[in-house]
Amino acid sequence: LDLRAVRTLKLQVHYLGTNYHGWQIQPGCPTVQGLVEAALSRLTGEKVRISGAGRTDAGVHARGQVASFTTASSIPTHGILLGANSFLPGDIRVMSVEEAGAGFHARHHALSKEYAYRFSTRRVLSPFLSRTVESLRGDLEIAPMERAAGHFLGRHDFTAFCGPEGRRKDAVREVTLSRFGEEPEGVHVYRISANGFLQYLVRTIVGTLFEVGRGRIDPDSIPGILASRDRTRAGPTAAPRGLTLEQVRYPEGM
């Protein structure tokens, strides 16, 4: 291996998570990382390992996943883009490939990530939306949900809002965006940005906000639930279908 010839490449990857066991490679399960690595390995003739910025769970989508890998291959970026896609199923697309600085790492260098959770309370969900929008029975009151969402802004210990893997580590994260918006055809979207996420964090926040919308959790009880670090006080984990990794931000020039 000629070290001078080693390149670091940065990929943008979009995928529908419906048919995959999430991002992270798992023996015997189709995962996005596994399929992208297999495509790049086939293309370059090397055993490629990629790092993804966000480890999305089974069924979760990405419109802005970023991944990085190193290679000694001299295939131009355009050839990697077209070649990788030719080996990938249609619900996973490498959207761009660019040269990155030596040492660039998609996860370690990420400053923040933004996720969106889409849901609808209409009686029937359009087939144009059903893969990426969660359909909920019954009415939700959005105003108290918006109030509750504001309490997640800032620096908090999110132990009460994450899965068992998240509770095993330091769960302090800084949330810089937490608010609701609207999209066509009656779709509500909750957007959250943070400097890092924990297992099931977005889906547990969303499941809790749904309970607020149903009047079962008071919007102003969020600070107390955060302080309790008690997972049983938050709401259930919302289904993965509505969740999409939307964007990963890096320091300028990276």
Give least dist CB 130 to a second copy, A: 6
Exposure string for 93-114, b = 16+ CB within 10 A, e = fewer: bbeebeebeeebbbbebbebbb
Rule CB under 8 A: choose which of 41, 77, 85, 221 binds a second copy: 85
Give least dist CB 84 to a second copy, A: 10
What's the distance, CA 107 to chain centroid?
Answer: 12
Residue 216 is given by DSSP the state: S
Query: CA-CA distance, 152 to 163, in Å (whole number)?
Result: 17
Rule CB under 8 A: choose which of 14, 42, 179, 249 binds a second copy: 14
Q: Does 176 bind a second copy (CB under 8 A)?
A: no
Rule CB under 8 A: choose which of 6, 29, 82, 143 binds a second copy: 82
Give least dist CB 45 to a second copy, A: 23
For a second copy, which is the closer residue by CB, 53 or 209?
53
Rule CB under 8 A: choose which of 30, 128, 165, 236 binds a second copy: 128
Beta bridge partner(s), residue 120:
135
Query: CA-CA distance, 40 to 90, in Å (whole number)?
Result: 16
Helix 77-86 × helix 32-44 angle, to 10°: 120
Q: Does 43 bind a second copy (CB under 8 A)?
A: no
Binding residues vs a second copy (CB under 8 A): 14-16, 61, 63, 81-82, 85, 90-96, 123-128, 130, 132
